[in-house]
Amino acid sequence: MSLAPELLEILACPRCKGRLLLAPGAVALRCPSCCVAYPVTDGIPVMIFEEALPWTPGPGPGNT
C-alpha cells in the first residue's frame, strides 16, 4: 500500500513542521531534522511524536 502523492505533499513533522520523506516500501515517514520515523499502519501515517521511532539519516538509497 502506498500513500497518495497529494497527502505526502501536505504532511509535515508534528514537532518541527519540516518536510517528511517516504521510506522504501512506504512503511514510515522520516523526518531528517528530528531524526525520527513515523510508522505507517494500514496505509495511515501515525503522526504522534511520542510514537515515532529513532532514525539516523545516512548515505544510500532512501536514506537522504
Domain boundaries, the chain: 5-54
5-54 has which fold?
N-terminal domain of TfIIb (2.20.25)
Is the model's pLDDT at 28 over the cut of 60?
yes
Summarize pLDDT for 1-14 with one digit per residue, the tens: 578 889 889 999 99
Q: Determine if the pTM surpasses 0.85.
A: no
Question: What's the start-to-end Cα distance of the chain, in Å?
Answer: 22
Name the pLDDT band for 38 (thresholds 50, 70, 90): very high
Average pLDDT, the chain: 88
Q: Check: CB of residue 56 under 8 Å from CB of residue 20.
A: no
Cell numbers found for residue 15 = 514537532
How far from the centroid of its chain's Cα atoms is residue 8's Cα? 9
Per-position DSSP letters for 1-64, written without gaps between them? ----HHHHHH-B-TTT--B-EEPGGG-EEEETTTTEEEEEETTEE---GGGPEE----SSTT--
| Of the ranges 1-15, 26-40, 48-62, the best mean pLDDT one | 26-40
